[in-house]
Structure 1
Amino acid sequence: MEEKTRHHEVSADRLNVHSIETFGTHDGPGIRMVIFTQGCQFKCLYCANPDTIALEGGYWLDVEELVKRAVSQKPYFGKKGGVTVSGGEPLLHRKALKTLFSRLHEEGINTALDSNGRLIDQQTKDLLAETDTLLLDVKHINDDWHHKLTGKSNHNTLKVADYRESTGKPMWLRYVLVPGWSDQEEYLHELGQRFKDFSTIQKIEIQPYHKMGMHKWAALGMKYELEGVEPPSQDLLNKTVAIFKQYFREVKVN
């Protein structure tokens, strides 16, 4: 895995892209161009885009081509909008994204990074310095449950959160609410306690679990482990919002 990761880090001028969305409204402030990168080290059981997991795949685009596309859409961004890079996991491409975000700033374009925080090193820190808003996906506050959901530890995710707090730059948290998996009240409170004193967290976004990616798992010949799990009820959403409101200044359901 590490060898493949390094292979994808060789270029600071090209990005391995899965897809690009224009006029995104749920991935950071304002209206945004959203670039989805290819490859992810997590294997979330509820992943809606399992075709982004494999490191192989996608298509390569020059950073300057992405900047050109963003500049052409700049009139639609307004004061708050800009470019968000999501995934997959964009930190696998942190060297190229540092180049991209630096160029976007030269063009006066706001940057956001939607990440699971899997990697924390100097290249990550360099990228975060060019990231106006970090959208940090915390899959679960309990490491055992995090392993069950993603196959990986949450330790680096929490390290990324702590580092971001130390820089004083804005951060949003994102939390996928899966009945029976990430809805335990004690852990929702634990998550709130972990982050309640952070000054950089502007909001937490609850993302209700859905089944819209199930057919993609089948198409890829992969077993979908959450087949019998239903989306959260309105009561569960209301209860989760009420808990998070005890700890965060803004709670939003996406």
Structure 2
Amino acid sequence: MADEPWAHSRYDLRLAQSPDAPETAEFNDQKGDFGWIHSYETGSTVDGPGIRVTVFMSGCLLRCLYCHNPDTWHLKDGTSVPFERAERALASYAAPLRAMGGGLTISGGEPLVQLHFTQRLFASAKGMGLHTALDTSGFLGARADDDYLRNVDLVLLDIKSWDPATYRRTTGQDVKPTLRFAERLAALGKPVWVRFVLVPGLTDDPANIEGIARFVAPMSNVEWVEVLPFHQMGVFKWKTMGLQYELLDTPTPSPDLVARVIGQFRDAGCRAR
């Protein structure tokens, strides 16, 4: 499918592919006949178990200071793709994905902006015998009802901060919806990998990490806490889009800092890596 106009790396800049697309905050499509897709990648080993196809949806309501894909914030920057076309593309990879113990991960942006399209694609993937993973901030977790989650085998849940003020500074939004979604996933017994982006001077306060660790540790459904070191790979997108990037002078976390944070999670009783 290399000739697909939406088959690009997550790191490619995509702007104004669909200028007539609806505004992200107002989007409420009840059918899911079309989806706005930034890109998709094959052969991913970092977005769930096995070898995976990862689809990056357009549209997000968070404005994370370290976002490496600000070109996924708006639907208009993605390519409008009919559902049947996306389904055919996925089907072409289904056999090797099954053989390699992998499946489909839907990421973004925020997949739950395009609720019905992603719900249909997850259901289709399950029909193909594929493992499914939802990569989400959890901010829109209330949109994903039990029928939606029934076709999701794993949730990659980004908990970006415990401290409410730090979370709002980091994302521009409230942390409470994410924590409520995490509690609901725990009640359902839905497998979760918690992801935490470690940003020196922003999210690395020991009390902030301790809060996440103590919240997550009692949840038997959380299989892993993944500490993701901050990086600067998306800076060129911010500059090209004329956006102010506040973390230009922020360094990558040192190995000692990463080890300290992983140790905090493990000391609290979490499986962390």
Interval of TM-score (by shorter of Structure 1 and Structure 2): over 0.9
* 1:13 and 2:33 are equivalent in the alignment: yes
Alignment-derived partner of residue 35 in structure 1: 55
* 1:24 and 2:36 are equivalent in the alignment: no
* 1:144 and 2:144 are equivalent in the alignment: no
**Which residues of 2 match residues 48-197 of structure 1 at below 5 A?**
48-77=68-97, 78=99, 80-121=101-142, 123-197=144-218
Q: Aligned in 2, Cα 1:248/1:213: closer, same or farther, shift over 3 Å?
A: farther
Q: Aligned in 2, Cα 1:3/1:201: closer, same or farther, shift over 3 Å?
A: same
Question: Following the alignment from structure 1 to structure 2, what is the Cα–Cα distance between the partners of residues 125 and 143?
Answer: 27
4+ residue runs over 6 A deviation: none
Q: 1:98 deviation in Å?
A: 1.2
What per-residue deviation string (whole Å, max 9, x for no partner) do you get for residues 209-233 of structure 1?
A: 0011111100000010111100000
Q: 1:126 deviation in Å?
A: 2.9
- Matched-pair contact (CA < 8 Å) for 1:204–1:248: no
Of 95-104 and 75-84, more deviation after overlay is shown by 75-84
Opposite residue 156 of structure 2, the aligned amino acid is L
State, as a whole percentage, how many aligned pairs show the same letter.
34
Question: Following the alignment from structure 2 to structure 1, what is the Cα–Cα distance between the partners of residues 198 and 144?
Answer: 31
Opposite residue 180 of structure 1, the aligned amino acid is G
Q: 1:204 deviation in Å?
A: 0.8
Q: 1:6 deviation in Å?
A: 4.2
Q: 1:188 deviation in Å?
A: 0.9
Q: 1:250 deviation in Å?
A: 2.4
Question: Following the alignment from structure 1 to structure 2, what is the Cα–Cα distance between the partners of residues 142 and 96?
Answer: 33
Alignment-derived partner of residue 262 in structure 2: 241
Q: Aligned in 2, Cα 1:112/1:124: closer, same or farther, shift over 3 Å?
A: same
Aligned length: 251
Please list every run of 5 or more consecutive structure 1 residues that lacks an aligned counterpart in the other structure: none
Q: Aligned in 2, Cα 1:3/1:74: closer, same or farther, shift over 3 Å?
A: closer
- Matched-pair contact (CA < 8 Å) for 1:101–1:111: yes
Question: Following the alignment from structure 1 to structure 2, what is the Cα–Cα distance between the partners of residues 45 and 91?
Answer: 20
Of 64-73 and 117-126, more deviation after overlay is shown by 117-126
Opposite residue 16 of structure 1, the aligned amino acid is W
Question: Following the alignment from structure 2 to structure 1, what is the Cα–Cα distance between the partners of residues 23 and 59?
Answer: 13
RMSD (Å) for aligned C-alpha atoms:
1.7
Question: Following the alignment from structure 1 to structure 2, what is the Cα–Cα distance between the partners of residues 51 and 87?
Answer: 10
Q: Aligned in 2, Cα 1:95/1:214: closer, same or farther, shift over 3 Å?
A: same
Q: Aligned in 2, Cα 1:82/1:182: closer, same or farther, shift over 3 Å?
A: same
Q: 1:34 deviation in Å?
A: 0.4
Q: 1:124 deviation in Å?
A: 4.2
- Matched-pair contact (CA < 8 Å) for 2:217–2:270: no
Question: Following the alignment from structure 2 to structure 1, what is the Cα–Cα distance between the partners of residues 195 and 136?
Answer: 10
What per-residue deviation string (whole Å, max 9, x for no partner) do you get for residues 77-135 of structure 1?
A: 23531000000011101111111111111111111000001113354443222110000
Opposite residue 37 of structure 2, the aligned amino acid is V
SS at match of 2:90: helix
What per-residue deviation string (whole Å, max 9, x for no partner) do you get for residues 179-206 of structure 1?
A: 0111111111111111111010000111
Q: TM-score, normalised by structure 2?
A: 0.87
- Matched-pair contact (CA < 8 Å) for 1:44–1:149: yes
- Matched-pair contact (CA < 8 Å) for 2:25–2:61: no
- Matched-pair contact (CA < 8 Å) for 1:91–1:124: no
* 1:44 and 2:64 are equivalent in the alignment: yes
Question: Following the alignment from structure 2 to structure 1, what is the Cα–Cα distance between the partners of residues 67 and 35?
Answer: 22
* 1:223 and 2:244 are equivalent in the alignment: yes
Q: 1:234 deviation in Å?
A: 0.6
Opposite residue 112 of structure 1, the aligned amino acid is A
Question: Following the alignment from structure 1 to structure 2, what is the Cα–Cα distance between the partners of residues 245 and 121?
Answer: 29
